[in-house]
Chains A and B, each alone.
Chain A
Amino acid sequence: MSATKRLSEFEELAFKHADQLFRVALRLVRNRAKAEDLVQETYFQAWKSFHRFESGTNLRAWLFKIMFNSHYTDLRRNKFEMVPVEETIAETLAYDPPTPQHLTEEEVLAALERLPREFQLPVILADIEELSYNEIAEVMQIPKGTVMSRLHRGRKILRMELVNYARSYGLKVAEQ
């Protein structure tokens, strides 16, 4: 296959994930120009190793993995290296009130923004971008158990924020 034809094939398959990658990149670098750079770099890297990509496997998860890897490399180069700290088991918050109904996009977005970054990314990857827990573990380079505990806690914190919000505005929260 000619290089141009292969490139067209790559573009056809990979470009449809650009919006998803861009959204997550924005969470990683928090600046539109930098996010665009990161996604461009991701596609560039992906294209370079496209010959190694096995058709039939999940291209989207593969692109995410390249993006996180590239981001981690940038951080390692520019910032400081972390000694891995053993993950503490997320404590179960005993109180789990019912999830409020009729929430607006603004309300849930505000709650998402307040979520600590550690929990925000897994929640975005699972609940918005619909990656599987295994894929998230691979993409973020953390154990699946860690993904699950962060998701569990992140989703709970998010709901609690929304419950508190609903209460403060007198919205109906069904009591059990």
Chain B
Amino acid sequence: MQVMDCRNFKEVLDSYISDELSVETNHAVLRHAELCAGCRGEMAARRNLRSTLRGAVTATTAPPDFRNRLRERLREEATVQATPISAKRDGFFSNWFRNLAVPQFAMATALLVLVAIGVVYLFSNSSPAYAAELSPALLNQATSDHDGCASIWRTRLFTENDPVHDAEKFDPTLLDLGKYSEHQALGLTFHYAHLCGHHGRKYVHLVYSRNNDLVSLFVAERDAAAMKSGTVPTDDGLQHGLQQFQNVQDKFTVSAYQTSKHVVLVVSTFTAQQNNEIAEKLAKPISLHLRKIESKN
């Protein structure tokens, strides 16, 4: 027989509501709820929260004509699938004639599809690789350092009331960079700056937080390895404005500004939109400051 206290109860309560507990744990939850009014109240409150949440989110539905558009597309595809390969490869005119036999709406869809294919084709052939795109190596390094380096400090950041002052142990000019970011505007706290160095690259790492979430700002050199193309563009970088990258597992968002000599990256687990807002207040002023320094040299 499993005995459950209030703490255990709260720990498993959400999984109980989701019907994800074993039979025994389920029983233990019910037995505890029978005896404990406080936990019965918490159970009601969490069920309430969940249904309010569901009500709020499920108010969003697909656009009204969405299903019709989808139905048309699928019916069109079904027609194409039923056509022998040779006919499909005959090109525009045979498709055109074949489609004369099908209802008007399908024909219109077919034309739209053809136009769309044309547009995609045009773009994929004529647009050169985006010259200022950052390299996967740099982005991976920034996210793994955010995850590794910054997270080590997590426990300290959130358990001690005192901000961490380790920044003072490092080069004072690095501390200086933190002065230019407008972190207060977004309710962010600036914790420390240091020189981070892994995989042969050295960069400045500034760590901020808001509630339970960490934000890293990296200032890296804009060298060949930082660029996807492998060559450093000759521009001053700022013309590219804010760039945004999302990683595959959807875990991190990276927003970046470039100057002629540096890349300023902001990494967090916030949404892309939130991360971009943060980058505007942290990375943009720092990149403007860097530009001033670079133009003097």
Contacts and interface: CB of A to CB of B under 8 A. Distances in A.
A85 to B, nearest CB: 5
A3 B113 CA distance: 21
Interface in B37-65: 38, 41-42, 45-46, 48-50, 52-63
Contact of B48 (A26, A85, A103, A121): A103
A44 B75 CA distance: 10
A108 to B, nearest CB: 5
A2 B165 CA distance: 72
Give the most central of A43, A76, A82, A174: most B CB within 10 Å.
Answer: A82
B45 A99 contact: yes
A44 B81 CA distance: 12
Contact of B74 (A7, A80, A148, A160): A7
Interface stretch (B24-32, B85-93, B248-256): B248-256
Nearest to B247: A82
Contact of B58 (A19, A30, A101): A19
A32 interface: yes
B74 A47 contact: yes
Contacts of A126: 18
A32 B268 CA distance: 24
B140 interface: yes
Given A7-B78, A36-B62, A79-B245, A108 B56 contact: yes
Q: Which secondary structure characterizes the binding site on chain A? A: helix
Contact of B18 (A26, A32, A133, A176): A133
B70 A128 contact: no
A80 B250 contact: no
Contacts of A157: 211-212
A143 to B, nearest CB: 12
Interface residues of A, number: 74
A159 B52 contact: no
A3 B81 contact: yes
Report whether over half of chain B's contact residues are helix, strand or loop; otherwise say mixed.
Answer: helix
B49 A109 contact: no
Contacts, number: 183
B45 A22 contact: no
B245 A80 contact: yes
Nearest to A141: B249
Interface stretch (B143-151, B167-175, B277-285): B143-151
B5 interface: no
B49 A99 contact: yes
Given A18-B67, A43-B70, A103-B52, A151 B77 contact: no
Interface of B: 7, 10-11, 14-15, 18, 20, 38, 41-42, 45-46, 48-50, 52-63, 66-67, 69-71, 73-75, 77-78, 81-82, 134, 136, 139-140, 143-144, 147-148, 151, 154-155, 211-213, 245-253, 268-273
Interface of A: 3-4, 7, 10-11, 15, 18-19, 21-23, 26, 28, 30, 32, 36, 39-40, 43-44, 47-48, 72, 75-76, 79-85, 88, 91, 93, 96, 98-101, 103-106, 108-109, 112-113, 116-121, 124, 126-128, 130, 132-133, 142, 148, 151-152, 155, 157-162, 174, 176
13 contacts: A4-B75, A11-B74, A18-B62, A22-B61, A30-B272, A36-B69, A75-B246, A80-B134, A82-B247, A108-B56, A127-B18, A151-B14, A176-B38
